[in-house]
Amino acid sequence: MELHSHDHPADPHILSQLSQPEQFQPVAELFAQLSDNTRLRIFWLLCHSESCGVHIAQSLGMSTQAVAHHLRLLRQHGLVCTRREGKEVYYHACQTPACDLLHQMMEQAMEISCPKCPCQEETLAQQIHRYLMTNLDKHITIDELSRLFLVNPTTLKEEFKATYGLSIAAHMRHHRMERSGKLLLEGKLSIAQIAQNVGYESSSKFSAAFKAHYGVIPSKYRGEPPLKPCQCR
């Protein structure tokens, strides 16, 4: 029996990466954490809102001990971060490019829109969310939303918070920062352009909001070198 050789040209760089399986191990471990249905749901929930362990347990119909186990594993692998307020510990998805990418991948794979379920009719809060996300570069007031969706401001705010767990302002600030972080890492737009893209009228206000969210100024997040002092006399 004649054996035919398979001579397929391949990129030497790709082949060199394949010969180093240890480089793939951290990625495999990261995906392993989201192979569990419960951890997947916890991570997705925390991508949308900050929550304590008791509230997470109630949302999933689980015991707090079981939820604590999953949260511990998610924290160990850099997917979930915490914030302490007095004796209460609050959890949220870490603000990292890896977590943002996983969140986006999950929603695309599940064909859902944050946090819309395709098997249900779109609620008022979800309609408002979709409208705001479509117009992320604009500053839209509660009164404008009230007139557009024909609902009084109080009901509008209550329904939105009941669905998303945050006020409209806090929820949209999170999404503005999430988008600006991605745009900064892409490196195609200036900081001023990114500020305008996510609805800030000035770069200074955007930089202050970005630093409050990520802990660093936009240029440092993107890895730009610091500006040299002027040598003019």
Domains of the chain (ranges plus CATH)?
Answer: 25-97 (1.10.10.10), 115-223 (1.10.10.60)
Residue pLDDT, tens place only, 39-96 = 888 888 888 878 888 888 888 888 888 889 989 988 888 889 998 888 888 998 888 8
Peptide bond into 226 cis (omega under 30): no
Asked if 42 contacts 60 with a C-beta cutoff of 8 angstroms, the reply is yes
Asked if 203 contacts 195 with a C-beta cutoff of 8 angstroms, the reply is yes
Q: What is the average per-residue pLDDT within 133-148? A: 88
Asked if 171 contacts 164 with a C-beta cutoff of 8 angstroms, the reply is yes
Within 13 A of 182's CA, how many CA atoms are on the CB side? 14
pLDDT at 3: 52
Residue pLDDT, tens place only, 156-196 = 888 888 888 888 988 888 889 888 888 888 888 888 999 89
Report d(CA 206, CA 183) in Å as an integer.
13
Tell me: pLDDT of 32 over 80: no
pLDDT at 114: 52
Q: What is the average per-residue pLDDT within 1-9? A: 54
Which pTM was predicted? 0.46
Other beta carbons less than 10 A from residue 130's beta carbon: 14
pLDDT at 15: 66
